[in-house]
Chains A and B, each alone.
Chain A
Amino acid sequence: MAEKPVLVLALGNDLIADDGLGPAAAALLAPHLSPQVELKTSAAAGMELLEELVGFEAAIIIDAVKTGAAPAGTIFRYRLEDLSPVAAPSAHWAGLPEAQAVAQHLGLPFPREVVIFAVEAQDLATIGHPLSPPVQQSLPVLVSQILEELAALTARSAVGTKAFSSGVTSMGRSPELAGN
């Protein structure tokens, strides 16, 4: 098991307008994370995420989406199991549910819980633009929702950890011992 049981994986590219949501949220979250939480940012996709996720008990993924079904800045919360099950592959990369399915088939330790926070984007195509105002404005609410979710996930993953590690809970570790 990973040194830190919970992962926050912020996806996106800070060079491309609202795609920078993940990195922007990560910067705001960083000072508030408990020692049980590891924060990573990535601009990669699909099977690359498999490598990022393997070994954690639980994970939160942050990303921008364009569903076209809600105003820009709307925050969506999904659980991984809410997303489409494995289907035909994309034109380019496998998706997250496929990464999970592959991990399960191959016996790799995939997080037991994956919660996804996604924010409806306005612009995902203009290089060098900042976050759009509605996405920028969603950040404080997004960050507080993620911190609440993390508290719950950390508590649950600590229970899971206890069962596996004979009483040494990750909640009980001091920050100095947690490593980076």
Chain B
Amino acid sequence: MSRTVVIDPITRLEGHGKIAVFLNEQGNVDRAYFQVPELRGFEKFAVGRPAEDMPQITSRICGVCPTAHHMASTKALDALYQVEPPSAAKKIRELVYATFFVEDHALHFYFLGGPDFVVGPQAPKGERNILGVLGKVGLEVGKEVIGLRREMRELITRAAGKVIHPVFGLPGGIAKPLTQEDVEAFRKGAAHAVEFAKFSLKVFADVVLANQAYVDWITSDIYTHKTYYMGLVDEQKRVNFYDGKLRVVDPAGREAALFPVSEYLDYIGEHVEPWSYIKFCYLKKVGWKGFVDGTDSGVYSVAPLARLNAAEGMATPAAQEEYERFYATLGGKPVHFTLANHWARLIELLYAAECMAELAADPEILDPHVRTLPSAIPAEGVGVVEAPRGTLIHHYRTDERGIITAANLIVATQNNAARIAMSVDKAAKGLIKNGEVSDGLLNMVEMAFRAYDPCHGCATHALPGSMPLIVRLYNPQGQLLREIRRDG
């Protein structure tokens, strides 16, 4: 008898993810699918609008990482108008962007990843939440997270106008220079962020790495995939969130590609499956071979672990030390353990904080010349940044007046979609045997995709306390046999 198990959120307010599990005649998993309902109509909505509106429009389609969309879009406009921003403008953009990373990564580790690791995968369900994390690390740390986040958000508001929807990026630069007072605030915030990142890495070492059971989870086969990895790198092939070339390494860690984002269509293909709205990105030169690991499969991954794997190191000293410790501890490059994303995220947190400090200390950041006026006739532009959740590409074509004729976005979760699907499939296979659905299934499957921090559309809200899930078991005729609910 073949059956389908669907793990389906009953409202859209928290996560849009839906997991469908197809069982074979023996009641074992034939294939599990992770479905992401995407927002529809973006291309249509963009066509006919002035390109210079795009940094505002695209930041408004996402309530989670507006700064990433704003920045990718602004960079696409630089390319569209063939204009190079002045050095100070680039540095201020990068400073704002590093500040955004600090805020986002800090929140993810403590409030989202924390329940899996700080509290522990095996802890009772009632403790696997933010309050459990606070119980373990202390209320002071909770206040620190909230306080740090507020400070970072105030800094972004200072430089970028609005934190929810930044308004400072313009083709060829930014809207206003920084004042001495702004820079002082950034210096103070950066010092705070560096200290916080170092503390967080210590929490990770003390609570996670010192616990063999957690290390066994991280390195277990159920959460391992040997795929390609992609990320932005600077000229020395070190991790960069704001600019550089895209570098791809193969599952053995060898460089497979290094290209400017303007050539992305030569490297990144989009595969369509009948069961999902999402297009699965793959490496064109390797080819789509299905949802499989290995050098012959074009599946690749993005986000913190992938960025560390795709680079040769970190551009700041303390983060570089942590980078070396990471690979020494986990058995060399590349690391294929999906759950290592949480550790990699903290190393990036430290890098972002150090990056803030370096930029805020750079005298050039006070240069009032922050805009190069565009004069070229626009035609086509591609922009890229690393969003906290991975590589984000904006691509616009316009007429000679700068009115959009075509737009294409490749968002982080799309780059990661194939590997996320593989992780969910593997977790389901490990946890469903002979028709028996293990009690831990929902949690273990969720842990698999939470490590990637996937973005399920761009307007998630917050009403229920948790991601409500339904597991539905169907017979081959599509009749409902059984339903397991978790409403929060």
- Which residues does A use to contact B, with CB under 8 Å? 11-13, 15-16, 19, 42-51, 61, 63-68, 83-99, 101-102, 105-106, 108, 116, 118, 124-129
Contacts and interface: CB of A to CB of B under 8 A. Distances in A.
A67 B9 CA distance: 9
Candidate in B37, B39, B107, B462 with the most chain A CB atoms within 10 angstroms: B462
Contacts of A16: 39, 61, 458-459
B199 to A, nearest CB: 17
15 contacts: A12-B459, A13-B60, A13-B61, A48-B63, A63-B461, A84-B464, A84-B466, A87-B465, A88-B443, A91-B456, A94-B462, A95-B466, A101-B131, A127-B42, A128-B44
A91 B465 contact: no
A128 B47 CA distance: 11
B463 A116 contact: yes
A15 B129 contact: no
Contacts of B464: 83-84, 95-97
Contact of A118 (B44, B112, B458, B463): B463
B449 A87 contact: no
Interface in B96-138: 107, 111-112, 115, 125, 128-131, 134
Contact of B15 (A15, A44, A91, A124): A91
A129 B128 CA distance: 39
Interface string B375-394: 00000000000000000000
B463 A96 contact: yes
A50 B63 CA distance: 15
B129 A86 contact: yes
A92 B456 contact: yes
Contacts of B61: 13, 15-16, 127
Contacts of A89: 111-112, 115, 128-130, 466-467
A155 to B, nearest CB: 26
A15 B57 contact: yes
Contacts of B42: 127
B460 A45 contact: yes
Interface stretch (B142-150, B170-178, B220-228): B142-150
Given A84-B488, A125-B39, A96 B15 contact: no
A78 to B, nearest CB: 8
B11 interface: yes
Contact of A102 (B17, B128, B142): B142
B408 to A, nearest CB: 14
Interface string B50-69: 00000001001101100000
Contacts of A64: 461
Nearest to A118: B463
Contact of B40 (A50, A106, A127): A127
Contacts of B142: 102, 105-106
B455 interface: yes
Nearest to B12: A66
A90 B15 contact: yes
B457 interface: yes
Given A16-B61, A98-B130, 17 more contacts: A15-B60, A43-B164, A45-B461, A51-B150, A67-B10, A88-B115, A89-B115, A91-B14, A91-B450, A93-B64, A96-B462, A99-B462, A124-B12, A125-B39, A127-B41, A127-B45, A128-B44
Contacts of B153: 51
Given A106-B139, A128-B44, A83 B463 contact: yes
A88 B446 contact: yes
A93 B460 contact: yes
B463 A94 contact: no
B296 interface: no
Contacts of B258: none
Contacts of A116: 463
Given A105-B139, A106-B143, A87 B39 contact: no
A83 B465 CA distance: 7
A85 B463 contact: no
A28 B324 CA distance: 57
Q: Shortest 10 CB-CB distances between A and B: which pairs?
A: A84-B488, A128-B45, A91-B15, A97-B465, A90-B14, A87-B466, A90-B467, A84-B465, A45-B462, A95-B465
Nearest to A42: B164
Given A45-B461, A106-B142, A88 B15 contact: no
Given A87-B129, A95-B466, A127-B41, A47 B17 contact: no
B441 interface: no
Interface in B346-389: none
B63 A92 contact: no
Contacts of B165: 43
Interface string B208-226: 0000000000000000000
A47 B147 CA distance: 12
B453 interface: yes
Contacts of B461: 11-12, 45, 63-64
B38 interface: yes
Given A11-B461, A13-B61, A63-B13, A90 B466 contact: yes
